[in-house]
Structure 1
Amino acid sequence: MPDIRLRKTVLSREDIFHEGGPAADTPHLRGSILAIIENPFAGRYAEDLQPFMEDLKPLGLEMARKLADALGGPAAIQGYGKGAIVGEAGESEHGALWHVPGGYAMRELLGDAKAIVPSTKKVGGAGARLDVPVTHINASYVRSHFDAIEVGCNDAPRANELALALVMTTGPRIHDRMGGLAAEDITGEDGLR
């Protein structure tokens, strides 16, 4: 498989104190990291894509570390998600290459995370935006952590590139009051409840 050709990364962090309600003493943190890489499959059909997933694993782990560190370290992370924007010379299946290296990188870094890492992908041109879903790291039914983080880059992905995204949060939405399973009441070992 070809080497990863990284053009750039984009790291973003939000510190949210309120959304019209009472201001929190400690802000809710949300962040994203994008890696803009060359798509080695752009412009052609390739039957076997899976070996490239193995090549992407070190990049996924490096991205997960940088993002978690920007949000206070792995112990602070309570929500996560992943996504990919495929440049116009690629296909959505090229974005699916990110499922294993992106998801498992975060789960490895965070230790005992049990919930599946939600994801999304699409084909788009430079400047395309993507809403990446977020759920609690240990139980997908924790409503307080249902969220989405918009990611994108003004000059990416170019036609022959992939924009690979990871997103993380440090807690529930700032004014969560929708009820349901609370994070402190998680009992399941399967990532659901």
Structure 2
Amino acid sequence: MPDFTLRKTMLFVEEIHHDGGPPPALPRRRAAMVALVKNPFAGSWVEDLQPAMEDLKPLGLMMTDRLIEAMGGIEGIDGYGKATMAGERGELEHTALWHVPGGYAMRARLGAAKAIVPSAMKIGGVGTRIDIPLGHINAAYVRSHFDAMEVGVPDGPKADELLFALAMSRGGRIHSRMGGLEAADVKGEDGLR
């Protein structure tokens, strides 16, 4: 079992009260959580990385639970996304370790989520920031929910660390008016519409 020692977590919560035009009836809330963990594969070549995804599932569930709490409960959460960054001794493929644990955790806790969990991956040094893409949880074509939340940690990721991130949102962009499928019209059958 690889050692993904947890060094630090950070929680980010935004309430957007205004974004031009009239104020919304309710503020839009977005939250993200990041975790810095030791990258047991940093600086070495490992052929089979896939089994390590199973080891990260408890971290994904813990982060998801904390995010739901920060969002004020599960009610109304309709957007999600994930991101990963490897420190300088890691490789981009190490960031792909988060695909299953991050997506699995949010789907398990949010229930009937059908849409793919948008994802971003990169390599960066200490203090590098990353955008977590957001999309609707049941329909990838809901344009009002296309968004991103930027996060970063001042002292990470170190060269031998991974930064794992999850994000959730409640509601689309304030004053979204770019057409396309409206959230109210989502059928939620295939993850697209």
- What is the letter of the counterpart of residue 121 of structure 1? M
Contact 1:75 1:110 (8 Å CA) reproduced: no
Q: Which residue of 2 aligns with 1:55?
A: 55
Task: Give distance in 1, aligned partners of 2:113 and 2:15.
Answer: 23
1:32-111 to 2 correspondences below 5 Å: 32-111=32-111
- Aligned amino acid, residue 41 of structure 1: F
1:8-39 Cα distance to aligned partner (Å, 9 max, x none): 10100000011122112311001110000000
Matched, 1:159 2:159: yes
Distance 1:14 1:21 in 2: 19
Q: Which residue in the other structure is 2:26 paired with? A: 26
Q: Distance in 2 between matches of 1:165 and 1:182?
A: 27
1-side partners of 2:59 and 2:126: how far apart? 22
Residue deviations 1:79-120, cap 9 Å, x none? 000000100000000000000000110011000000000101
Stretches (4+) displaced over 2 A: none
Contact kept, 8 Å, 1:36 with 1:162, in 2: the verdict is yes
Aligned residue pairs total: 193
For the 8 Å contact 2:3–2:38, the answer to whether it is kept is no
Q: Is the 8 A contact 1:84 1:162 kept in 2?
A: yes
1 CA distance for matches of 2:3 and 2:94? 16
How big is each residue's C-alpha offset from its partner over 1:41-92, in whole Å with a ceiling of 9 and x where there is no partner? 0010101111110000010011011011101212221100000010000000
Gaps of 5+ in 1: none
Q: Is the 8 A contact 1:140 1:192 kept in 2?
A: yes
Letter in 2 for 1:130: I
Structure 2 counterpart of 1:143: 143
Stretches of structure 2 lacking an aligned partner (at least 5 in a row): none
Query: Which amino acid in structure 2 is aligned with residue 132 of structure 1?
Result: I
Given that residues 127 and 154 in structure 2 are in contact (C-alpha distance below 8 angstroms), is that contact kept between their aligned partners in structure 1? Answer: yes
- 8 Å CA contact 1:17, 1:25 repeated in 2: no
Identity %: 62
Residues 107-152 of structure 1: CA distance to partner in whole angstroms, max 9, x if unpaired? 1100000000010100000011111111000000001101011111
